Chains A and B, each alone.
Chain A
């Protein structure tokens, strides 16, 4: 309520600024003489100045005379051209100006402010927020405090160890990657830290096991061949690369060695089910849901994720172009990303790739037609 009161006061002040001169009578504003501010006044001042300069000895008499003649010439010209019109007052126009201020100003102010402003939001100065806030904020507060501590003592390995998983859970993957790296530097090598780092890198890439992440998992695997996390992600990498058989083999081996009550068993089992334990070399999942889900992510994450997957798919199709379904997925992905040119390019490539096989070409054309890309 105070905010609106302040707004009202400000508006009144603004209106007052417009009304003030309108209220005064015309004569009150003539502070100076009739020539005030006019050309004649300037020239008269100049003439007076020449006399002063002459008296001080700054200019010689002939020059003063020449200047005087020049100014007088201008003065005469100005006096002749001086408009005789005295200031008038026009009540009708003054009233409309007053109405403009009284009605127009608040209307413009509210009309512009309402769509842009957030009058219901309070200020959140940092000092106030640190003093007392709800539970939801306390975790973030703690994180900030730990981060500030680590900023000053960057070699505190234990601190990084504590911070990294929290950052990962908060979704600050890039920071988590850095924290895990620091943890590795100051706490030394371990398979768990390596695979945690790999997981963070993959998360930062929107779930794609990038080459960088894969390197970390391979290192973890080299340190401890039974490390479940690195095994799981190496399987995932294989799946994303389209090597479903390899993925299935890795996960099967992992399940075989796993204790019966391992909490990650269901995850690996469902992954294994997804790849179907073998069969033809079909394309990795790039379902509509994945792309749709990615829309909810932050712009950067989403782009990284989709682009990563699509690039992978495109590269593989370049090497092995028989896969009609894969081509259709690629085209659809480009369309979803709004890149119609690339989609067209991909469909042309696809037609070339399957041109020798009439049956596949027919499938492809049908698929493209449903995507609205025929011809």
Chain B
């Protein structure tokens, strides 16, 4: 009953999506309010049915109903409840259902809160959403149906991939999907604007917050995925430039660019066409990411199953939407009215530079991701594009971008004063130089570029602080006045500062971790002591323990420094009988922002065990940075003011900061 109702609800959602993709468009043509309003109620009903369908699948997993093939293949009756629930999207079919559920959620939100949107714009937006939804409902029903049944249900399931049996699965995919799918809103708005042939002010007012929501989730999702890989895979790596990671990084880069250009558009009514193009590109890259991960073109921990029909189906969806939207853009873009003008040296100019660098960086990643695939398919020649390629291409681009970041927020709209900004950033520059000097003096060995990169990171953070200091006038006016001004500052200004500082923080973490991490790989017996980065790591013993659906071998290490005991670390190896595979559970000891990392290898017959111990200085900064960025994004999102960029009068000498 639950299974079949869930299945039927999904089918009904498809039916509603089909109606939603046609009727509102006819309504918009005829200027018929009732027909246009069909979009709203169908979007909400769609959300209801997909939500019910998703809930049904969750219930089936929780009840261990092995008459559903999806549950049988990915669940086990003895799995803890949390993993029974997260296991719903720990497989291809379930994760696609989550994908469409989130798509319906965003559609429903536009329908519910879009009262202040012009009626025809809302009808168009929801119709475009419904096209995407219809394509993916069909994809799910035809090629990856999670509700298929087994007539003679087996008594026990095959269990979830042990690597995925982790709290990370509860957070990483939903976050990432909220990000990916969230960009569908700006895509739908862009297509709607192209179809209507005009972009009004309401358009910009809507696109920026939605893009921001998607961007926040994507940022957190990527950071979470990276941290998960770091502690679960047992090698202490947090970014591998593998195609699946790139697939999430590309929409992030394009989305970041979109976020900034949407800002220009909202405030200054400029860069309209470019913003539309970026909206299309960002969502296209999200679709491309879905294709790369879900088609089985790439085998990785994310490719749950490989099935050529799925790949072909997604490829069709991809071609239809990307090709269709880009040709629509090519045909209609010229008819759109261009907006405000600005001088090259201005806030707008800085944002254009930001967009340029981000899109080129995105193109570099795209090239690095697709080139090996193309080579493999066309020339039957296997190659991998790894860190060296990105260090040579992506890193310099990003360094340039970071160098420019502190300048952007300090330039005035329409026409800016670069020299003045440089003077005000002097302190930040000095801070950066001091950081370089300290890093140079303190560091022994490592890459020559590392101190420079640290200096850059400090410069970005100091630049963000300078911006806030300038705005509040902290050094010039009495403290109480500054405090009052700080409270009065628009929250988006704080958001900008936090997000930009987050970039610097992440950069420092990345540089420190890659340059000065130390590792110790050894076979250890009981009471052996390893020395790493000033810590003494002593193996106290090995013992076995029984988990709910696995057995684990735990090694206990005593950590001390200069003879003083600090902590006990217990990495383990779990073996899962049902899948006949095992996972390594690394133990992490956090000291400030640095971590000690121990993971186990294979045990010998004579009681010795292979151990990998890493010391990772300031590694946590890598993830604190994105968290800070997301926090900045949320601050900016909570700022619900209407925005208008006040240009500085051309003749009047500058006295204060321009308003946000």
Give chain A residues whose Cβ lies under 8 Å from the Cβ of B117. Answer: 37
Mask, A1-31, CB within 8 Å of B = 1, is: 0110011001101100110111011100111
| B contact residues around A137 at 8 Å (CB) | 155
- Smallest CB-CB separation from A26: which chain B residue? B33
Residue A363 at the B interface, CB < 8 A?
no
Q: Check A87–B642 contact: CB distance below 8 A.
A: no
Instruction: Provide the A30-54 mask, 1 if CB < 8 A to any CB of B, else 0.
Output: 1110001111011101100110010
Known: A89-B34, A123-B65. A71 touches B644 (CB 8 A): yes
For the complex formed, measure the closest distance between the CB of B199 and the CB atoms of chain A, giving whole angstroms: 10
Q: Which of B146-154, B286-294, B379-387 contacts A (4 or more CB under 8 A)?
A: B146-154
Specify which of A7, A10, A124 is in contact with B65 (CB 8 Å cutoff). Answer: A124
Q: When A88-B31, A116-B141, A126-B77 are in contact, do A29 and B14 touch as well, CB less than 8 Å? A: no
In the bound complex, CA of A59 to CA of B145 (Å): 57
Does the CB pair A122–B14 fall under 8 Å? no
The answer to whether A97 and B11 have CB atoms under 8 Å apart is no
Q: Smallest CB-CB separation from B652: which chain A residue?
A: A62
Known contacts A42-B200, A60-B656, A74-B269; decide if A117 and B63 are in contact (CB<8 Å): no
Q: Are A108's CB and B15's CB within 8 A?
A: yes
Residues in B neighbouring A85, C-beta threshold 8 A: 31
Interchain nearest-CB distance for A218 vs B (Å): 24
- Interface presence of B18 (CB below 8 A): yes
A263 within 8 A of B: no
User: Given the complex, which residues of A lie within 8 Å of B118, measured CB to CB?
Assistant: 37-39
A148 lies within 8 A of B646 (CB): no
Q: How far is the CB of A64 from chain B (nearest CB, A)?
A: 7
* Candidates B11, B42, B77; contact of A18 at CB < 8 Å: B42
Q: Given A17-B42, A70-B647, does the pair A42, B205 have CB atoms closer than 8 Å?
A: yes
Q: Which residue of A lies closest to B157 (CB)?
A: A126
Interface size class, chain B: 35 or more
| Complex-state Cα separation, A176 to B656, whole angstroms | 81
Q: Which residues of B contact A97 (CB under 8 A)?
A: 19, 23, 26, 35, 38
Given known A49-B642, A64-B646, A78-B201, contact A101–B35 (CB-CB < 8 A): no
The 8 A CB mask of A65-108 against B (1 = contact, 0 = none) is: 11100110010001001000111111001100100110011001
A144 touching B156 by the CB < 8 A rule?
yes
Q: Does B238 contact A (CB under 8 A)?
A: no
Q: Nearest chain B CB to A25's CB is how many angstroms away?
A: 8
The reply to whether B1 and A122 contact each other, CB–CB distance below 8 Å, is: yes
Could you tell me if B490 and A60 are in contact, using CB atoms closer than 8 angstroms?
Answer: no
Q: Is the pair B16, A94 in contact by a Cβ cutoff of 8 Å?
A: no
- Checking B15, B27, B649 against A62 with a beta-carbon cut-off of 8 angstroms, the contacting residue is B649
Chain A contact residue count (CB 8 A cutoff) = 85
Whether B141 and A58, one on each chain, are in contact in the complex, defined by CB atoms closer than 8 angstroms, is no
Bound-state Cα–Cα, A125 to B38, Å: 39
Q: Does A140 contact B (CB under 8 A)?
A: yes
A57 at the A/B interface (Cβ < 8 Å)? yes
Residues of A within 8 A of B15 (CB): 14, 104-105, 108-109, 112
A169 interface hit (Cβ, 8 Å): no
| Set of chain A residues within 8 Å of B115, measured between Cβ atoms | 31-32, 36-37
Question: Once the chains are docked, how many angstroms separate the CA of A30 from the CA of B118?
Answer: 11
- Decide: A37 near B649, CB < 8 A? Known: A14-B16, A14-B45, A123-B67: no
The answer to whether B647 and A66 have CB atoms under 8 Å apart is yes
Cross-chain contact A121 with B149 (CB below 8 angstroms):
yes
Closest to B339 in A: A74
Q: Is A293 positioned at the interface, with any CB of B under 8 Å from its CB?
A: no
User: Quick one: given A38-B202, A67-B646, are A117 and B7 in contact (CB under 8 Å)?
Assistant: yes
Interchain CA distance A341-B338 in the complex, whole Å:
62
Which listed residue (A17, A59, A64, A129) contacts B45, Cβ 8 A? Answer: A17
Contacts of A29 in B (CB 8 A): 33-34, 37
Residues of A319-357 contacting chain B, CB below 8 A: none
CA A141 – CA B155 in complex, angstroms? 7
CA A70 – CA B270 in complex, angstroms? 13
B8 touches A7 (CB 8 A): yes
Given the known interface contacts A2-B1, A50-B644, A117-B4, the answer about A127 and B200 at a Cβ–Cβ threshold of 8 Å is no
Q: Is the CB of A36 within 8 A of B116?
A: yes
A256 CB within 8 Å of chain B? no
Which of the residues B1, B33, B77, B644 comes within 8 Å of A67, measured between beta carbons?
Answer: B644
B119 touches A (CB below 8 Å):
yes
B16 touches A58 (CB 8 A): no
Bitwise interface map of B from 1 to 44 toward A, beta carbon under 8 Å scored 1, else 0: 11111011101101110110011001100111111011011101
CA distance A87 to B36 in the complex (A): 10
Quick check: B19 and A101 within 8 Å, CB to CB?
yes
Q: Which of B9, B16, B141, B147 has the most CB of A within 10 A?
A: B16
Bound complex: CA A148 to CA B153 (Å)? 19
B591 within 8 A of A: no
The answer to whether A264 has its CB under 8 Å from any CB of chain B is no
Chain A residues closer than 8 Å to B642, beta-carbon distance = 42, 45-46, 49
Cα of A41 to Cα of B40 in the assembled complex, Å: 22
**Chain A residues with CB under 8 A of B577:** 151
Contact partners of A141 in chain B: CB under 8 A: 155
**What chain A residues lie within 8 Å of B8 (beta carbons)?**
6-7, 10, 109, 113, 117
Q: Is the CB of B641 within 8 A of A49?
A: yes
* B476 sits at the interface (CB 8 A): no
Give the nearest-CB partner of A59 in chain B. Answer: B659
Are B646 and A6 in contact, CB atoms less than 8 angstroms apart?
A: no
How far does the alpha carbon of A137 sit from the alpha carbon of B66 in the complex, in Å? 14
- Contact of B201 with A74 in the complex, beta carbons under 8 Å: yes
Instruction: Given A37-B116, A97-B35, verify A21-B5 contact (CB < 8 Å).
Output: no
Query: Which residue of B18, B35, B41, B116 contacts A17 across the interface (Cβ within 8 Å)?
Result: B41
State in angstroms the CA–CA spacing of A39 and B37 once bound together. Answer: 20
| Residue of B153, B200, B648 contacting most chain A CB atoms (<10 Å) | B200
For residue A23, give the distance in angstroms from its CB to the closest CB of chain B.
Answer: 8
A17 to B5, CA, bound (A): 18
Q: Is the CB of A126 within 8 A of B65?
A: yes
Per the 8 Å Cβ criterion, residues 621-660 of B in contact with A are 641-642, 644-649, 652, 655-656, 658-660
Q: Which of B35, B48, B119, B648 contacts A63 (CB 8 A)?
A: B648
Q: CA–CA, A39 to B65, complex, Å? A: 53
Q: Tell me the bound Cα distance from A57 to B148 in angstroms.
A: 64
Q: How far is the CA of A115 from the CA of B644 in the complex (A)?
A: 55
Q: What's the minimum C-beta distance from A337 to chain B, rounded to whole angstroms?
A: 20
- Report the nearest A residue to B3, measured CB to CB: A123
Q: Is B444 an interface residue (CB 8 A)?
A: no
A122 CB contacts on chain B under 8 angstroms: 1, 67
Q: B340 CB to closest chain A CB, in angstroms?
A: 8
Complex Cα spacing A39 to B118, Å: 8
Q: Quick one: closest B residue to A21, CB to CB? A: B37
> Contacting B4 at CB < 8 Å: which of A3, A66, A144?
A3
Binding site for B on A (CB under 8 A): 2-3, 6-7, 10-11, 13-14, 17-18, 20-22, 24-26, 29-32, 36-39, 41-43, 45-46, 49-50, 53, 56-60, 62-67, 70-71, 74, 78, 81, 85-90, 93-94, 97, 100-101, 104-105, 108-109, 112-113, 116-119, 121-127, 129, 137, 140-141, 144, 148, 151-152, 154
Identify the 3 closest CB pairs spanning chains A and B, nearest first. Answer: A17-B45, A59-B659, A21-B37
Question: Can you list 12 pairs linking A and B with CB atoms under 8 Å apart?
Answer: A18-B45, A38-B202, A45-B642, A46-B201, A63-B646, A70-B340, A74-B201, A93-B27, A94-B34, A97-B35, A105-B19, A121-B149
Contacts beyond the supplied A60-B656, A141-B155: 4 A-B pairs with Cβ under 8 Å: A6-B8, A64-B646, A90-B35, A144-B156
Binding site for A on B (CB under 8 A): 1-5, 7-9, 11-12, 14-16, 18-19, 22-23, 26-27, 30-35, 37-38, 40-42, 44-45, 48-49, 60, 63-67, 77-78, 115-119, 121, 141, 145, 147-149, 151, 153, 155-156, 198, 200-202, 205, 269, 340, 488, 490, 546, 551, 577, 641-642, 644-649, 652, 655-656, 658-660
